[in-house]
Structure 1
Amino acid sequence: MSRSAFALTARMPDPTSLLAALHAGGPDLRVDRAGQGAVVRLCTEDGRQVVAVEAPRYIQVPGEAARLLDPAVATETPVWWTEVRAASAVPEAPRPAASIAGRLATLLDGTTWPRETAAHADVVTVAASGEPAPALAVGDDVLTEADMLTDRAAIVLPDIPVIATQWVTHTRLGVEEHFTLAFGHTADNLVPLDHLPHLAEELAIQHHLATMVTEVRAARPDLTVPAHYEPPALPVSLTFGPGAIADTGPSRVEETLPDTPVVRLGPTARPTLHCTLGDGTDPAAWRRLRHAMAHLRVAPAGQAVCGPPSG
């Protein structure tokens, strides 16, 4: 059964129908919020996330639901799209997710995907594991789809594995937040390096990115660490947010890296600079990175590691 179930309804889910659907997902589960209220989570008494129900989205483009899900999905436009995601860490989670989507579709004149989800509208029960699990604080908007959470890390298991860690340091200038993200990619799922400029721009504008180093390394795609040697990561890009280059100016960065492609992103007055250091196979990228950091005197505050599989 799919890890996510979708309810495609003609009417917008209201609080009454949503409560009825959540009850079908498990009367013994407690309700929690995440993503600044945009996500409703059902958790066991020990804090394990079982399902996450995202805020409904209004789809008005004809054929968009079929394009995103399956050509066999037949819905009239416009339609309300509600995704119910089952946590991969809970084996029995797909059934309550299917029950929630099925109940929404029944109450709101809709359909579900996968189609077999419609047959699961009965109330189900998920027992607690007995092991306490860290819970997200109300209003947290980071990694609301995480399957496993610790004090400093979140892990997303299905499709492309993701591990994220966060730590905070106090400096003479204030508080710094440091993040490291690791994504696992298989041989048939190439590392999307062409998306890095867009990601860099969004992080800088929306999340006040200071600096970011992106690296690629040959490793296991499931992000586990084997007991044998693996080659080191190779940097592929270096990103400076507007605040990181406020003193030196963007022209100084471009002059320091004359042989490195530098793209200006975001507002002209406060641009973000995205510097391409290599393609993940060129060891000379380390020299370019050291040269940039030495001359610009800026320490990287964020890092994203994208790992293709080892041979």
Structure 2
Amino acid sequence: MTKDVIALTPRMPDPWAVLAGLLSGGPDKLASTRGEGAVVQLCDREGRPLVSVEAPLLVSVEGEAERLLGAVPPPVPYWWTEARATTGVAEAEQLAGTFAARLAALIGGSAWPPDAVGSIAVVKTDGVSVAPEPAAAQPAIDVLTERVAVVIQDRPVVAMTAWLSDAFRAAATAGLGLQIVSPADTTLSPAVRDALGGRPSRWIVQDDQDGYYDGLTGAVLRWQDGSFDPVLSPDATEEDPRTPVAAAYQQVHDTGERQLALTFRTVHPADERLVLGGGLEAVWRELTGEPPAGWGTAEPANLPWSPARLTDVAHGRAPEPTWFVVVGHRSRPGIATVRVTRTSAGVEEEVALAFGYGAGEEPPLDALPVAAEALATRHHLQSMLVQLRKARRDIAVPPRFEGPGVPLAFVLGAEEVRAMPGDRARRVPLDGRPVPLGPRTRQAMYYPLPGDPSDLTGWQEFERLMRHLKGA
């Protein structure tokens, strides 16, 4: 049974509806709060949490419940209320389901997953005991050791929810890795994949044949010394510590689907009139014909696209960095993560963006130079790398091997071109000639690369270009 239950309601759960849900364990169950009231917890008699309920989130972006849950929500805007049960306590899971069922019964809507939501009657919890502190102190963390924090996620898509974002922060503050355990049919949001970083943080996939394996590398894993770590092959040596790869990870079929991935950085002067997100919107419009659909500081992305509001949030959090997720419309799957940082050079935006295309759809490669020119001439582009890869149209990351992307183009901003000595930026050791972007007095450079997903030699061309531009 799932540990997370979500109520999708057309109206905000009022205090009486929340109270009725919290009484799903009977009047003897205690309620407490965390996170300055943002999380309400249903606790046992010792004050240890059985169910943690996040503050309701107003979602005004179409397609997020479908993308992350496979659920059909009420028409936007609707309210998304998450309840997380304490791991390993069956009664706690029933409490979470009953809480969501009561909300839906009182104010309309539905609950996810349907099979986790049963009766709205009081759940018997006599004699139930739960994990002591500190593991239960962080609602998203199920197991805590000296090396890692482990999160169990039984959802169609492991997304960068507020729960998981808190878990990442808590683990980082404690100097721990974060390990996410999920079933074999779960996928990962790109936002979570990019946040996992290096070991000991991992995505651990349960598998009938091999037990557990790393969903991003395929390495077979075992729980040992307080974390999931790779199993060494029988012929492994200290110089060659090879590990077996799970059979499920190697089950690859080319469906013809592709992803167009762009990573770029812009550096803006720190000005009171600065509006962030303009470069991302310009690229989105050039490649899809429309702006992004929505954004947020966690998934689901809940706010309609608005560079002005995004800027206000980043400004309010400065000088601390701010992380955003941006999503597209249903017609063209797309997702971006944006990190805004205040540095001595100004205000930096680091963007990782991907669009998905089916077997019969052609990525708009001809529009790439136009998008690059918009960034270079109007949004202070520093650099951009464009890749094409064999990957799913829906952008979700499966626990299967997906080949690496191949470089389609590299773009160097006008200031970086101007700072290079002589004609180094214009005379490069590539077969294709660089394409100047923008006015002659302030030109950026667009370097086309082979970009064949079946041929990785494009990375050799890219490496040669980088060595040349660095003067190596």
Q: TM-score, normalised by structure 1?
A: 0.53
d(CA) in 2 for partners of 1:60, 1:131? 36
State the match for 2:106 in structure 1.
107
Count of aligned pairs: 221
C-alpha RMSD of matched pairs (Å): 4.9
Q: Quickly say closer, same or farther: Cα 1:183–1:146, change in 2 above 3 A.
A: closer
Residue identity matched to 1:108: I
Q: Would you say the 8 A contact 1:6–1:82 is kept in 2?
A: yes
2:176 match: secondary structure:
strand
Q: Would you say the 8 A contact 1:184–1:223 is kept in 2?
A: no
Q: Quickly say closer, same or farther: Cα 1:152–1:130, change in 2 above 3 A.
A: farther
Question: Highest Rg: 1 or 2?
Answer: 2
State the match for 2:54 in structure 1.
54
| Matching residue within 155, 158, 175 for 1:179 | 175
Residue 56 (structure 1) shift: 0.5
1:209-220 pair list within 5 angstroms: 214-215=198-199
State the match for 1:203 in structure 2.
none
1:77 match: secondary structure:
coil
State the match for 1:144 in structure 2.
139
Q: Could you tell me the percent identity over the aligned residues? A: 33
Q: Quickly say closer, same or farther: Cα 1:42–1:221, change in 2 above 3 A.
A: farther
Q: Would you say the 8 A contact 1:33–1:40 is kept in 2?
A: yes
d(CA) in 2 for partners of 1:148, 1:25? 24
Give structure 1 stretches of 5+ with no counterpart. Answer: 168-176, 201-212, 234-263, 275-307
State the match for 1:31 in structure 2.
31
Give structure 2 stretches of 5+ with no counterpart. Answer: 159-163, 203-213, 242-338, 351-398, 400-472
Q: TM-score, normalised by structure 2?
A: 0.37
Q: Quickly say closer, same or farther: Cα 1:215–1:94, change in 2 above 3 A.
A: closer
Q: Would you say the 8 A contact 2:86–2:130 is kept in 1?
A: no
d(CA) in 2 for partners of 1:166, 1:83? 19
Residue 120 (structure 1) shift: 2.1
Residue 131 (structure 1) shift: 7.5
Residue 102 (structure 1) shift: 0.6
1:1-311 pair list within 5 angstroms: 1-71=1-71, 73-129=72-128, 133-134=132-133, 143-148=138-143, 155-158=150-153, 178-183=174-179, 199=195, 214-215=198-199, 221=221, 223-225=223-225, 266-269=341-344
Listed one character per residue, the Cα deviations across residues 40-82 of structure 1 (whole Å, up to 9, x for unaligned) are 11121234432111111111122322222115x2522211111
Residue 103 (structure 1) shift: 0.6
Residue identity matched to 2:38: A
Q: Would you say the 8 A contact 1:186–1:221 is kept in 2?
A: no
d(CA) in 1 for partners of 2:169, 2:56? 29
Q: Would you say the 8 A contact 1:5–1:83 is kept in 2?
A: yes
d(CA) in 2 for partners of 1:19, 1:27? 10
